[in-house]
Copies of this chain bind each other. A is one copy, B any other.
Amino acid sequence: MSDVTIERLCIIGTGLIGGSLALALREVRAVGEVVGCGRNPAHLETAKTLGVIDRFALEPAEAVQGADMVVLAVPLGAMHDTFAAIAPALAPDAVLTDVGSAKTSVVRAAQAVFGSLPSGFVPGHPIAGTEKSGVEAAFPELFRDHRVILTPVETSAPAARERVRAMWEACGAHVVEMTPEHHDEILAATSHLPHMLAYALVDTLARMDDSQEIFDFAAGGFRDFTRIASSDPQMWHDICLANHDALVKMLEAFSDDLRLLADAVRRADSRFLLDTFTRAKAARDAFCKK
Contact = CB atoms under 8 A, between A and B. Distances in A.
A253 B208 CA distance: 10
Nearest to A130: B220
A139 interface: no
A268 B241 contact: yes
A129 B129 CA distance: 28
Contacts of A146: 219
A278 B186 contact: no
Interface string A197-216: 11111111110101101110
A252 interface: yes
B248 A265 contact: yes
Contacts of A66: none
Contact of A222 (B194, B208, B237): B194
Contacts of A147: 217, 219
Interface in A247-261: 247-248, 251-255, 257-259, 261
Contacts of A197: 197, 201, 225, 258
Interface string A140-169: 000000110100000000000000000000
Residue of A215, A254, A265 with highest tally of chain B CB at under 10 A: A265
Residue of A194, A201, A284 with highest tally of chain B CB at under 10 A: A284
A234 interface: yes
Given A248-B262, A273-B240, A233 B278 contact: yes
B277 A199 contact: yes
A184 B285 CA distance: 29
Interface in A276-290: 276-281, 283-288
A10 interface: no
A113 interface: no
A189 interface: yes
Contacts of A240: 265, 268, 273
Interface of A: 127-129, 131, 146-147, 149, 185-187, 189-191, 193-206, 208, 210-211, 213-215, 217-219, 221-234, 236-237, 240-241, 244, 247-248, 251-255, 257-259, 261-262, 265-266, 268, 270, 273-274, 276-281, 283-288
Closest 7 CB pairs of A and B: A233-B277, A206-B283, A202-B280, A190-B218, A251-B262, A203-B280, A215-B287
21 contacts: A127-B217, A129-B221, A146-B219, A149-B217, A186-B213, A190-B219, A190-B222, A195-B221, A200-B257, A201-B254, A202-B284, A205-B283, A218-B287, A223-B287, A223-B288, A224-B225, A225-B225, A225-B227, A227-B284, A248-B266, A258-B258
